[in-house]
Amino acid sequence: MLDFLFNLFTEPDKSWSFVSIPFAVVFVLFFVLYIFIRQSSKTMMLAYTVAFSLFFAYKANGVLMLLLPATVVISYYLTRLMAEKEDTERKCWMWITVLIDLAPLVYYKYTNFLIEIFNEMTATNFAPLSIILPIGISFYTFQAISYTVDVYKGRFDEEVSLLEYFFYLTFFPLLIAGPITRAETLIPQIKHRYHIGDEMVYTGLWLIMSGLIKKALIADYIAQYNNWIFDDPTAYSGFECLMGSLGYTLQIYCDFSGYSDISIGIASLLGIQLKENFNYPYQSLNLQEFWRRWHISLSTWFRDYVYIPLGGNRKGSWRTYLNNFITMLVAGLWHGASWMFVIWGALHGLVLVIHKACKPWLDRIPNTWYVKLASFVLTFSFVNVAWIFFRAHDLQTVADMIRTMVCDFSIDYFVPFVETRTMWVVFVVLGYGLHAMRKNHVDRLKSLYIDSPYTLKLLLLFIVLQFVINFRQSDIQPFIYAQF
């Protein structure tokens, strides 16, 4: 027992995440003390949460977590120095701060990719470096950049102490995979310490249960079969490859939106309200709508800090198309140092440009139910195919998978597939069924849960946990977006 506790608090753990039992144990201990500290002193509450967040970062990253406090200190003081400069110098200092914030991200995430490109261009053979990507570095780097730019632009002008900035950049619910949260959302809440009402607590529990169902129940269960398909699509029929493609489309949504639900739910328990990060994206009728619903915090970040600075839609149609395309290329590259992510971003950028160019003509089409159905099918089909590029190891895997689906597809596989993989089919149908629900219906269910008796709340929590335990895989599947 003592050895378990010692390792729990001192050893880094690659499986450390919101759905692991060790995290649940440590969080309960943290939360009990947090309730009392929050009522006594804001400074103690901030320091206590920062300490736990740094511990959380250490468990996930080991000694690489030192990058996080280093980023906090450097970004904070450089931003303050920038704010004190005259207008003629402020822009220069803003860029210095942004580039310094980006430097660790570029090194850890893109060094080997740049070496690969250099080798291809010069026909050399430099060996890749042994570099481990720190978990969460993309997310806290983007939060640091947004703070610096918002201060520079005058969009955020509140006085922020170093401790408050530590809280903002290290807040553990956001640390692994966001949502990317702006200073204007988080810092005012920690300055004023709003009362944690029953609705916030129960909303947090509802979101945590929702996230567990999506991530630990649906995404993790269907992941194993999806992995088999993408590892060797030629070993399966076209129907099985199509199921794997549809399965991954659901998996990545349930995995990341499940993480976001748990993250926002934990923050709600702590008295912090975060903005939603997913809004039923697969219900979209066009790709522009999809990106307003998918990973909302990242989409708005790229809009505000890449697309608009490039000129947005202010410099004519062709420049608007180019800005859209460049933004999606950068978004693709942000997801990973691989040509597959660049291609995925380019595909989305190209279709967004086509949609924007055709919009005057599309707006003249009657908005009937069958037009909406066709729009939904086209949008979902494109997103599904694009996810193949996102998930596949290389272009050969993409070609094999698409060729198998097209050339070796037969509906005769349907009944044997359902009989062989019954539970997989049940979870996929459940996942898509939950996603097909109207938002107002889900909000109604949440309200019924909030107003329900304590006994019913506990019963629902017990049922969810029991399902997760019964159907969980032997190995915890890491959050997909933790690698970005």
Among all residues, which ones are annotated catalytic? 335
The DSSP result for 75-96, as a single string, is HHHHHHHHHHS-HHHHHHHHHH
Q: How many residues does this entry show for the chain? A: 484
Distance between CA atoms of residues 453 and 5, nearest Å: 35
What phi and psi values does residue 452 have, to the nearest 5 degrees?
A: -75, 160
Residue 468: other Cβ atoms inside 10 A: 18
Structure tokens at 293: 């619903």
Burial of 249 (0-12, 13-18, 19+ CB in 10 A): buried
Distance between CA atoms of residues 133 and 453, nearest Å: 45
Contact 312, 322 (CB under 8 A): no
Place of tokens 């290290």: 170
Contact 429, 269 (CB under 8 A): no
Residue 355: other Cβ atoms inside 10 A: 16
Beta-carbon contacts of residue 3 (< 8 Å; ≥ 6 apart): none
Give the 3-state secondary structure of residue 173: helix
Distance between CA atoms of residues 64 and 264, nearest Å: 25
Residue 148: other Cβ atoms inside 10 A: 26
* Long-range CB contacts for residues 354-359, cutoff 8 Å, separation at least 24: 355/286, 355/287, 355/288, 356/288, 356/320, 356/321, 356/324, 357/317, 357/321
